[in-house]
Structure 1
Amino acid sequence: MSERELLNRITRDPNICHGKPVIRGLRYPVSALLELLASGMTPEEILQDYPDLEMDDLRAALLYAARLSEVKHMIAR
């Protein structure tokens, strides 16, 4: 799957999770998935606990975080 296809899995909707980036509109915030991975859970464990998710969703979350880390300036809201 291409980077563009992976990043297209990340959606934002003001009516879902207060507009936070989520996976495919499923109410799984990208930040929550990253925290699970950072806590030491394996992708397989996460997928077992959250059957709506796919491996490419986890890859998308990691790619999204990688792209965000390249941002040089944060815009105050």
Structure 2
Amino acid sequence: MTLTLVLKTLWLISAVGLIILVLLHSPKGDGLGGLGGQAQLFTSTKSAELTLNRVTWVLTIIFMGLTVVLSANWLPA
């Protein structure tokens, strides 16, 4: 296994994981519920959402970093 193949595999795993995590996030918009003041009922920050945000940011950084490294051809072929 070459280093390029390992990094491409990590890139693919981070891409799929990022897609899944973004889909797991709860919507932040108030929508029409904001007109009646009902949006303030559910504004508490949960630890699960905080952890989900942190993991999403870490996967985003990994994905973007690997994208730059793989696209710039910095690795030997």
Work out whether the TM-score is over 0.5. Answer: no
Of Structure 1 and Structure 2, the greater strand share is in: 1
Q: Which has the larger radius of gyration?
A: 2
In the superposition, the TM-score normalised over structure 2's length comes to 0.32
TM-score by length of 1: 0.32
More helix by share: 2
User: Which of structures 1 and 2 has the larger relative contact order (alpha carbons within 8 angstroms, sep 6+)?
Assistant: 2
